[in-house]
Structure 1
Amino acid sequence: MENELFQKIPSLQVIICRQCKHGVRPAEVERHLKRKHQFKHQSAHQLAQAVQQWEDIEQDSAAIQIPPVVDNPLPILPCEPSGLLCQRQDPPCHYVASSMDTMRKHWRQVHQWSQQTRRGRVGQRERTQGAAELRRSFTTVAWQQIFPSGPGSHYIHIRFPEGHPPPPLPPADQAQRAVDAIITAWDQARTAQEQQAVIQADRITDANPWLRRTGWARYLEGVHPQDLLRLVEAPPRSPGSH
């Protein structure tokens, strides 16, 4: 189940929540599942323990290192095409902003530079020079963000070729079948574990409401049909079960 909720990026040793489309630190998985996705304590705890056994993942939050730039877009994360990359230093500064106001603040605080150097009326020549200096001070780039806040939440410059086409979306009916498969697998696992009666369609609880309500279909793009088949297999019977 944890593989359907999170995807790991071994090159950066981080995991991404498929639904929220941002990184989750391993130490925060249990809290994330309970607060953001309304998982019960036992289920969230079990999934967090499973994630802690994953290889190629940095379990120490303080040791996670997020680079300022990567060559290709990272999976799951949205890729924004209109970021601003600071060019005020040589070699250029790696700071990426999502708006000109934020970039101007960065220039003032980090580089002690402002396009308008003095108050009052500015002549045509000075305006032209200021505009030219402004154009040299940034360039437009694509960016992604892994963590929404805290260490490692900076915007990452993505250096993919200009005009790189986005991956095609799967057909809506195929994605919806994947959602139904996950829900079915979850129902079966919970029933076998807790020996509960079969849950009626109009009284589904636990993980299923958020799966349907949030439209998981769009988070399962690229899932191979063979991978979906194993989700609907009946879980192994425990000793003594009937």
Structure 2
Amino acid sequence: MAPPTTEQLFLQLPEYRVIVGRKCQHAIQPTKIVTHLRHPNHRIPTLDAQYIQYTVSTWQGFVQEPQGLIFPHSVIYPIPGLAVYTDGLSCTVLENCDYVCRSIDSIRKHIKVEHNLGLNPHGRPPQCELPILHELQAECMQRVTYQRLFLSRKGSYYIYVRQPPDNQ
């Protein structure tokens, strides 16, 4: 059986200067393609993976490493080729706050640290005030849809999708 072609494996996103794996639906650094394709999700032989990585390295306009790239914190519509997730939490304390995460603990920490809501100047709030504090914090967040370019390292933050697809 012939190995898959580079175009069958990867989608080019020139506006972000990255490539996206069609199967995994996240961006992949061109210098990490061999490692990515050798993973059990793909199981592509080393020589084939090396050839694919070489082919991708000839594509013009794509960065080899994400340092220095600026990615959006929010988009109106989903970025084509990237997975869309619906379990995000967004901060609503300020209209221009673009913070998105997945855990209630992370959003609470963000609200406390970045917006100074719920911080007791003398340390931890008393146990009797926690329900009120959590209710206040709950009013400062909302469920959102998001995407990610990279799953780890530079560029791995969440991108808020303001108008998710209808089928979600």
Q: Structure 1 residues 9 and 49 mapped into 2: Cα distance closer, same or farther (>3 Å)?
A: same
> How far did residue 136 of structure 1 move?
4.0
C-alpha separation between the residues in 1 aligned to 2:39 and 2:114?
A: 36
* Partner residue in 1 for 2:60: 55
* Partner residue in 2 for 1:93: 97
Match for residue 153 of structure 1 among 127, 141, 156? 156
Greater Cα radius of gyration, structure 1 or 2 = 1
Counterpart mapping for 1:1-242 below 5 A: 1-36=5-40, 37-89=42-94, 91-114=95-118, 118-122=125-129, 127=132, 131=135, 133-160=136-163, 164-166=165-167
Deviates more, 1:14-23 or 1:108-117: 108-117
- Aligned partner of residue 94 in structure 1, secondary structure: coil
C-alpha separation between the residues in 1 aligned to 2:62 and 2:167?
A: 27
> How far did residue 34 of structure 1 move?
2.0
**Structure 1 residue runs without a partner (length 5+):** 168-242
| Contact 1:86–1:92, Cα closer than 8 Å, also in 2 | no
Report the TM-score, using the length of structure 2 for normalisation. 0.80
| Contact 1:107–1:113, Cα closer than 8 Å, also in 2 | yes
Q: Any idea what the Cα deviations from partners look like across 1:72-104, whole Å, max 9, x if unmatched? A: 112232212242111234x53211011222211
C-alpha separation between the residues in 2 aligned to 1:95 and 1:86?
A: 6
* Partner residue in 2 for 1:180: none
- Aligned partner of residue 88 in structure 2, secondary structure: strand
Of Structure 1 and Structure 2, the greater helix share is in: 1
C-alpha separation between the residues in 1 aligned to 2:102 and 2:134?
A: 22
C-alpha separation between the residues in 2 aligned to 1:9 and 1:24?
A: 11
C-alpha separation between the residues in 1 aligned to 2:8 and 2:56?
A: 12
C-alpha separation between the residues in 2 aligned to 1:140 and 1:100?
A: 11
Q: Tell me the matched-pair count.
A: 160
Q: Any idea what the Cα deviations from partners look like across 1:110-152, whole Å, max 9, x if unmatched? A: 3343388730434xxx93x863x33442233210111111111
Q: Any idea what the Cα deviations from partners look like across 1:166-196, whole Å, max 9, x if unmatched? A: 39xxxxxxxxxxxxxxxxxxxxxxxxxxxxx
**1:98 alignment partner AA:** R
RMSD after superposition:
2.7
Q: Structure 1 residues 92 and 115 mapped into 2: Cα distance closer, same or farther (>3 Å)?
A: farther
Q: Any idea what the Cα deviations from partners look like across 1:4-44, whole Å, max 9, x if unmatched? A: 00111122111111112221011111221123422222211
**1:80 alignment partner AA:** Y
RCO comparison, higher one (Cα < 8 Å, 6+): 2
Deviates more, 1:77-86 or 1:149-158: 77-86
